[in-house]
Every structure is written in C-alpha cells, then in structure tokens.
C-alpha cells in the first residue's frame, strides 16, 4: 500500500524506538501506526515511499500503478491550486474552459491518497480531502472521502480522469453498466453483458432518438418510424450489447415487432426510408447493424423507482469525464406490463444548465 499526504510528519529512529519502548513498558508491545508521507507542493517533485512486505523488496515498482499515481496527484494538485485549465484538460472539458470556475472559492487545506485497486480498466484510489473554505455545493467545507479512477494509459500518453465520486455516491456510470469477460491468456475482451438493460435502453433512447429533449407519451405514440428509431431498435437487438449479440442480421419483421412493443410505434415494415440504411446488401427484409460511430455522452444512472408494472430511471449527463459537473438530468418512464419488453412511455427533462454534455469515444 502506498499513501501520500500533504502534511509532513517528521520522525527519527531514536524517537520511534523511544515510543515503542514506552508503549511496551505500559501494556506490552503494541503496533505503532505508520504516519502518512508528505506530498510536496506541485512545483517540487513528490517524494514517494511504500510499505513493502519483506518478500517483495526486490520487486520493481509496477509501472501502471506508478503512472496512475502521478496522474492522480496531478489532478488533486490542480484542484488544490485551483488550476482550472489543467482540470479541464484532465477531464476532457477543454471546449468548456470556464467549467471549473466554481472552484475559485474552494481552499483545499490537505489531501491524501491511498491505492485501492488496480483493475483491467482503471486504477482506483481512495482520496481524503480537507477543505478549509468553499462556496461550492460540489466541494463542501470539512473532511470528505472520494474515489478517484485513473484509466489505463493510452498510446499517445493522454489521459482523462474516469471518475471522482464522493464516498457513498449511488451514481452508476454508463461504462459500469457493461460487464466484460476477458480471455484468460491474451487478456482481450471476449464478451459483453449489459447489467441493467432498462438503464441502457433509457440512455440510448434519449441520446439517439430525442436529442436529450423531453417527449410525452402522446407525442411518442404519434411518431412514425424514422432512421433514429430504427437505429435504436437495431442496436437494442444486434451488436455486442444487443439481446442477440451472436447474430449478424435479423428479419425486418423482428425489428418492427420490437419497435411496436418497446416504443408503441407500429408499421416499420411499410416505412422504407426508416430502415433502408440498415438492410443487408442485396436484401429487402434482413437487417444488419452498421459500423458503430464510437461516441457516447458521459452519463450515469442517478436513481430509480420501480413497481411490478413500471419503472422510472433518472439519468445525469456530465460535461467532464470525472462526473463532477452535471449539466442535464433526464427522467425516463417505462411500462413493464409486457414481460421481456420494457416499453418507453415518456421522457422528462428535470435540469438543463444550457451547457452541452460531453461526448467521448465509446
């Protein structure tokens, strides 16, 4: 375990020995907690020290963890210095340069980080923040604990923080809704499983079919099939996240039936303009999934309500990859009356700051 702390705690061998002897004389030998190590100001190289088990002394430091630690400290130092430009760069918000202006009132007195887990996708740290002054609702005054996720290093060395969540947060980032299975030898992804299909449906529908805008049940029922609605249904059925991931094509009738059951919109099969781009080459009734665009909004599931016959999901869309600044909240209502076919009834916009959500590569 490696721990970093801003506040130095000085010690010498003599002092430590005296403490141990004094403690032993009182109640027998007791373990003395090891103090956390200092993090220097950003302009000075950070001194690092690790608690290493004797049997692992000869091992070289893990370069993945070492690199992730440096990124984590860079992000937290930028927060402490109120360096808004660096925060925007580290969270993919370069096109919204004033996004972090709200931290101008935040005075971070102290921070420390501790390695939590090194996973296939992220290296995760536990962060303790001590904030002396703040007028920000996101970063309140006092002690707080956060989870910081640093993704794997890219070939070009670029990085975007993949999450900075207050401890106890119930947010479920959209990427966490996909469970990956890896090949035991090559480490490559061999399967994808959607954990919460209603969350996945809601996110895709509002992103692809409503442009993140509201739509009532009456408006939805009066819509006629179009390319966006067909694309949504094809994606729900085919592809790596679809209900039939092993299939490469499906009959048009199956797509039409799915659209009617999940959206209440019939007659796709008599709307050629709505499905022509999805037809297999040389076919008039077999539908395929086109090449993926490879982009998505930064989105998380923020809440849900459910009964036997309905479910509401609350989606939050963010302007940064760290899930710090929510710029839109959208509620999607589903009917569960037809088993296996959750039907989207309506979409409501509960919050719209006017700042566009961030779109990133999938």
Three-state SS for 304-360 is EEECCCEEEEEEEEECCCCCCCEEEEEEEEEECCCCCCCEEEEEEEEEECCCCCCEE
Residue 315 tokens, joined: 């989606």
Query: Does residue 67 sit in the same domain as residue 81?
Result: yes
State the Cα–Cα distance between residues 301 and 200, nearest whole angstrom.
9
CA gap 59, 6 in Å, rounded: 27
Alpha-carbon distance of 257 to 263, in angstroms, equals 10
CA 257, chain centre distance (Å) = 33
Q: CA 25, CA 34: separation in Å to the nearest integer?
A: 20
- Domain CATH number, residue 69: 3.10.450
In angstroms, the CA 232 to CA 255 distance is 10
Domain boundary among 169, 189, 222: 169
C-alpha–C-alpha distance, residues 165 and 3, integer Å: 19
Digit-by-digit pLDDT tens for the chain (362 residues) are 455 565 533 333 333 333 333 333 333 333 323 334 344 344 334 434 334 344 444 457 688 788 999 999 999 999 999 999 999 999 999 999 999 999 999 999 999 999 999 888 899 999 999 999 999 999 999 999 999 999 988 777 788 999 999 999 999 999 999 998 888 888 788 888 999 999 999 999 999 999 999 999 999 999 999 999 999 999 999 988 899 988 999 999 999 999 999 999 999 999 999 999 999 999 999 999 887 766 899 999 999 999 999 999 999 999 999 999 999 999 999 999 999 999 999 999 999 999 999 999 87
- Considering the domain architecture, whether residues 145 and 204 belong to the same structural domain is answered as no
Two tokens, residue 211: 């442009």
Do residues 100 and 74 both lie within one domain? yes
Shared-domain flag, residues 178 and 198: yes
Q: Which pTM was predicted? A: 0.83
Q: For residues 346 and 220, is the Cβ–Cβ distance under 8 A?
A: yes
Q: What is the pLDDT of residue 240?
A: 85
Helix (H, G, I), strand (E, B) or coil at 102: helix
Domain boundary residue, one of 169, 203, 221? 169
Residues 6 or more apart from 8 whose CB is under 8 A from it? 37, 38
Return d(Cα 326, Cα 250) in angstroms, integer.
38
- Residue 195 and residue 163 share a domain: no
Q: What is the dihedral of CA 287, 291, 292, 294, to 10 degrees?
A: -170
Structure tokens at 32: 């003395």
**Does residue 193 sit in the same domain as residue 235?**
yes
Query: Do residues 131 and 175 both lie within one domain?
Result: no
Q: Do residues 159 and 248 share a domain?
A: no
Tokens matching residue 335: 């009917």
Answer yes or no: are the C-beta atoms of 276 and 283 closer than 8 Å: no
Dump strand ranges (E) for 177-240: 178-182, 189-194
Alpha carbon distance 188, 209 (integer Å): 32
> Which residue, among 180, 171, 286, has the nearest Cα to 238 in the 3D structure?
286
Residues 191 and 335 in one domain: yes
Examine the domain organization and report whether 37 and 113 are in the same domain.
yes
Do 138 and 179 lie in one domain? The reply is no
Among 147, 169, 191, the domain-final residue is 169
152 shares a domain with 24: yes
Backbone angles phi, psi at 176, to 5 degrees: -75, -10
- The pLDDT of residue 224 is 94
Reference 335, options 308, 301, 295; nearest CA is 308
Report the pLDDT value the prediction gives residue 49, as an integer from 0 to 100.
39
The total number of structural domains in the chain stands at: 2
- Which residue is it, tokens 């003395």? 32
Angle at 283 between CA 281 and CA 287, to 5 degrees: 80
Structural domain of residue 59, as residue ranges? 1-169
Asked if 109 and 131 touch (Cβ cutoff 8 Å), the reply is yes
CB of 235 closer than 8 Å to CB of 205: no
């Amino acid at each position: 375990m490696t721990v970093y702390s801003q506040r130095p705690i000085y010690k010498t061998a003599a002092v430590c020995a005296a403490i141990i002897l004094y403690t032993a004389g009182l109640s027998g030998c007791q373990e003395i907690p090891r103090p956390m190590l200092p993090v220097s100001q950003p302009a000075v190289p950070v001194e690092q020290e690790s608690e290493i088990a004797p049997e692992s002394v000869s091992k070289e430091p893990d370069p993945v963890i070492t690199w992730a630690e440096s990124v984590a400290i860079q992000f937290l130092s930028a927060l402490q210095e109120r360096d808004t430009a660096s925060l925007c760069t580290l969270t993919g918000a370069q096109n919204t340069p004033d996004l972090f202006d709200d931290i101008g009132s935040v005075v971070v007195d102290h921070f420390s980080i501790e390695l939590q887990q090194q996973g296939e996708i992220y290296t995760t740290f536990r962060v303790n923040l001590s904030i002396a002054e703040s007028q920000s609702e996101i970063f309140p005054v006092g002690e707080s604990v956060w989870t910081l996720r640093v993704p794997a290093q890219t070939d070009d060395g670029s990085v975007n923080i993949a999450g900075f969540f207050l401890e106890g947060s119930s947010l479920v980032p959209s990427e966490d809704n996909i469970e990956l299975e890896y090949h035991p030898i090559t480490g490559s992804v061999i399967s994808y499983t959607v954990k919460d299909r209603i969350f996945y449906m809601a996110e895709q529908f509002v992103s692809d079919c409503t442009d993140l805008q509201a739509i009532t049940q009456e408006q939805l029922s009066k819509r006629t099939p179009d390319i966006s609605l067909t694309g949504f249904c094809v994606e729900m059925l085919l592809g790596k996240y679809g209900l039939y991931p092993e299939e490469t094509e499906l009959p048009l009738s199956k797509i039409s039936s799915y659209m009617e059951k999940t959206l209440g919109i019939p007659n796709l099969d008599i709307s050629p303009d709505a499905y022509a781009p999805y037809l297999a080459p040389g076919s008039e009734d077999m539908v395929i999934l086109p090449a993926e665009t490879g982009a998505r909004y930064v989105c998380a599931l923020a809440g849900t309500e459910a009964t036997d016959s309905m479910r509401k999901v609350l989606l939050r869309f963010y302007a940064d990859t760290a899930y710090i600044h929510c710029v839109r909240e959208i509620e999607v209502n589903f009917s569960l009356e037809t088993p296996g076919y959750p039907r989207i009834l309506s979409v409501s916009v509960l919050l719209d700051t006017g700042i566009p959500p961030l779109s990133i590569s999938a």
